[in-house]
Amino acid sequence: MNIKVFTSTVLMFFSLLAAPFSYANDIEDVLNTKERPAGVVFEIVSNNAEELRHAIPAVKAYIDTLRKRFPKLDVAVVSHGKEQFALTTNNKKEYSKVHSEIKSLVKDAGVPVHVCETYASWYNIEPDAFPDYVDVSPTGPAQINDYLALDYTLVVIE
C-alpha cells in the first residue's frame, strides 16, 4: 500500500468518526419531520457495479417526493463503492440510462452527484475517467461529512 492510499484511508476513517450526523433510516423519516431539513444527502455504496441501475431511479423518485413536501430542498448524492464505476465515460454506452438520469439530476434538478476519488484510485481509475457532470470528491465519506456539517440529513440507499 503506498503512502497516498494509506493517508487517504486514514483520513476517510477519521472523517467518519467525526461526523455529527443526522441520519434517517429511510425517506419516510425525512417526510415525517415537522421542520424542513437543511438538505438531504443520499449515500449509495455497494459492492455491486449494477447498483446504480436501481438506486438512481429510486433516488429521483425520492427527490420528487421530498420536493413536493419541501419545495426547493437542497439535495446531493454521493456514490462511493463499486457502483460508481458505472459513471465512468468508458461505461457510458453500457449504462446509458444511468448516465442520462445522472445528467438530468445535475442539470435539471440541481442535484450534485459525487463519486470517490480515493476508492477509484484503488482500481487505477483516474478522476478524468468520469464525465464533467459527475463531481469527483477526494473521498466519499468526507464529502458526506461536509454535507452533514451543513445539517443535511443522511439517507442511505440500500
Q: What is the mean pLDDT of residues 124-133?
A: 98
Dihedral sign from CA coordinates of 8, 10, 13, 17: negative
Mind listing the pLDDT tens digit for each residue in 84-108? Answer: 999 999 999 999 999 999 999 999 9
CB of 85 closer than 8 Å to CB of 91: yes
What pLDDT was estimated at residue 158? Answer: 82
Which H/E stretch holds residue 4?
helix 3-17
Please give the domain boundaries of the chain with CATH numbers for all domains.
Answer: 3-157 (3.40.1260.10)
